[in-house]
Amino acid sequence: ETGVTQTPRHLVMGMTNKKSLKCEQHLGHNAMYWYKQSAKKPLELMFVYNFKEQTENNSVPSRFSPECPNSSHLFLHLHTLQPEDSALYLCASSQAGIERYGYTFGSGTRLTVV
């Protein structure tokens, strides 16, 4: 148990489906992140939330829609995805402003788009 829980662990969806990924942290952190990791590629930072406010969107297509209702929960809403969106989606949390203290990552959601 890393303190950051992601559900589901695996997801298969069609290109016309709508699904959501969920992330929950019980570490008292106030910053949360979504990363995408495609096969044999570096982790790509997608979104950053500090104190529930989105502070960064790294040119992510609009078919990915994040939501952060509070500092403990983060969602990634998915719709009309493409096969190239198949990847491991990782959520992380940290203490905003002192990121050098480290990020805690969840185990990820393995997404397959068919």
Please give the residue ranges that form the binding site for other proteins (CB under 8 A). Answer: 2, 4, 33, 35, 41-43, 45, 48, 56, 88, 90-92, 97-100, 102-108, 110
Tell me if 87 sits within 8 A of 36, measured CB to CB.
yes
CB of 34 to other proteins, least distance (A): 12
CB of 16 to other proteins, least distance (A): 27
33 Cβ contact partners less than 8 Å away, ≥ 6 residues apart: 45, 46, 47, 48, 49, 91, 92, 93, 94, 103
CB of 105 to other proteins, least distance (A): 3
